[in-house]
A and B are shown apart, each in its own frame.
Chain A
Amino acid sequence: MQKNIIYNEENFKYLANNIIDISRNESKKVFGFTSSLSINNKRINDLYINIPKNIYEIILNKGIKIKLIDNSMLELDNIKLKENLDFDINNYDLIFVCISNILQNSESFECAKVCKNIILIEKYMYSYYKNYEKILFYLGQFNIIPRGVITVK
């Protein structure tokens, strides 16, 4: 049975404030959350969803209109995702999209292209320099801006 890890709430509040600050300068307020971490590792695969979800809840409590789209299991392909985002962009102040590892899944990378703004989630001891550099290189190739990185201890 997988153990639920309880994270420090203050850290999420800090992260939520930082993301709100970044989003103020953006015209298209869609943030994709991805990572260089392997999706096959059971100990870390919940990070893709849990961390954006916690930040989402904090921002929601602040009264900001926000939507969380969990596409970590790739229920939506990039075309459908684009359609959804085009529809939601006028109704919400912020949209979070959970995307699984773009190095391991080509469809995830297509989703990242749709989001344009990417926030990386990396875990100490599990994230490799090699993969992190690779992910930054791929994102750079398609002018996808990594807006920041969230580190997990």
Chain B
Amino acid sequence: MTQNINKFGVQDIWSVFKKNLILILIFSFFSCVMFGFVTCKKMINIFKNSNSIENNSQIYVASIDCYVEPSTEILSNENSNFCRAIPDDIIALLNSDICANYIYEKLLNLHTKEYLLNNTNIISNENNTNKIITIDDVKNLYACKREKSTMLIKLSSFAYDKKLAEDILNFCREYTNLKLKKVMKYAQIHESKSTIKLINTEELLTENYMDANFEQKNNISKKNILKVVIKYFMLPVMALVFLLIFGLCLISYFNPNLNRMSDFCEYNVPVLGEVKK
């Protein structure tokens, strides 16, 4: 028998597959139905969430213009390219994880997580209580953009609640004042008066507030659907079917079949012939 086990090969696996094709198909069908149901439930959750965002068709945008004025020391310096890079540095620092984390911690001191989820465009696939707000989610609550070839930076924050939009913007400014001023010794930041506007969410794309960020957010929701389909449907179905085939192969490995004419030749019984369909 050990000799027979050693002979277990591709043809034997193929024979297992052929022999149990109906069982594999039925099993695959029921797995698809079962995990399809689970995926549908998850999808409904996502669509419910996206609908609640669509319902909030208007969003508050708090914005402020900051003018970065290089110090006279820098201006007198021959290397003027250095001061040109200052606004980019400020934007990079505002877009950093440290800044997002600072804003998130400050927001949590003032508001609850549920409040943040309900009043921002952070998409939650799960129940709001289970959702973890990531750094990327926080980064989508504000945007900073340099006006083309100028020293002007436009800082904006977005929320479905007026107060929250103002809070986010204030924390951005606070971070700029607290951290950046220490770093940027060579420039002064002049801020304009903050404005708050209620605009349609679609206008976010056209008004150049956060062209990159908001588009990315829409992609994330599409990605979420794909993720759910892969995570809750394709992977489990494939894993189960693979497990079934593996199990059947294992059974066949320990209790092998005679699958070819040469298998009969070992027993000193002549093969009189083979009958084919």
Chain A interface (Cβ < 8 Å from any Cβ of B): 5-8, 11-12, 14-15, 18-19, 22, 51, 119-120, 122, 124-130, 132-133, 136, 146-153
Contact = CB atoms under 8 A, between A and B. Distances in A.
Given A125-B257, A129-B256, A151 B269 contact: no
Contacts of A18: 272-273
For the complex, would chain B's binding face be called helix, strand, loop or mixed by DSSP majority? mixed
A139 to B, nearest CB: 9
Interface of B: 1, 4, 15, 18-19, 255-261, 263-264, 267, 269-277
For the complex, would chain A's binding face be called helix, strand, loop or mixed by DSSP majority? mixed
Given A124-B257, A127-B258, A153 B19 contact: no
B1 A151 contact: no
Given A125-B19, A150-B274, 15 more contacts: A6-B277, A8-B277, A14-B273, A120-B269, A124-B260, A126-B257, A128-B256, A148-B269, A148-B270, A149-B269, A149-B271, A149-B272, A150-B272, A152-B274, A153-B275
Contacts of A120: 269
Count chain B CB atoms within 10 A of each CB in A51, A119, A152 and give the residue with the most. Answer: A152
B15 A125 contact: yes
A93 to B, nearest CB: 18
Nearest to B254: A130
Contacts of A22: 272
Given A122-B258, A124-B260, A8 B275 contact: yes
B22 to A, nearest CB: 11
A71 B271 CA distance: 24
Q: Which 9 pairs across A and B sit closest by C-beta, in order of nearness?
A: A148-B272, A15-B273, A127-B258, A18-B272, A153-B276, A148-B270, A125-B15, A152-B275, A151-B274
A130 B255 CA distance: 7
Contacts of B258: 122, 124, 127-129, 132, 151
Contacts of B272: 15, 18-19, 22, 119, 147-150
Given A129-B258, A148-B271, A151-B264, A7 B276 contact: yes
B275 A7 contact: yes
Given A125-B19, A129-B4, A130-B1, A149 B259 contact: no
A136 B257 contact: no
A8 B1 contact: no
A38 to B, nearest CB: 12
22 contacts: A5-B277, A8-B276, A8-B277, A119-B272, A122-B264, A125-B18, A125-B257, A127-B258, A128-B257, A129-B1, A129-B257, A130-B255, A133-B1, A133-B267, A147-B270, A149-B264, A149-B269, A149-B272, A150-B272, A150-B273, A150-B274, A151-B258
A11 B274 contact: yes
A153 B14 CA distance: 14
A7 B274 CA distance: 10
A151 B263 CA distance: 10
A128 B273 contact: no
A136 B269 CA distance: 9
A12 B1 CA distance: 31
Contacts of A122: 258, 264
A119 B270 CA distance: 10
Nearest to B273: A15
A82 B15 CA distance: 40
Contacts of A129: 1, 4, 255-258, 263
Contacts of B255: 128-130
Contacts of A19: 272
Contact of A151 (B19, B256, B267, B271): B271
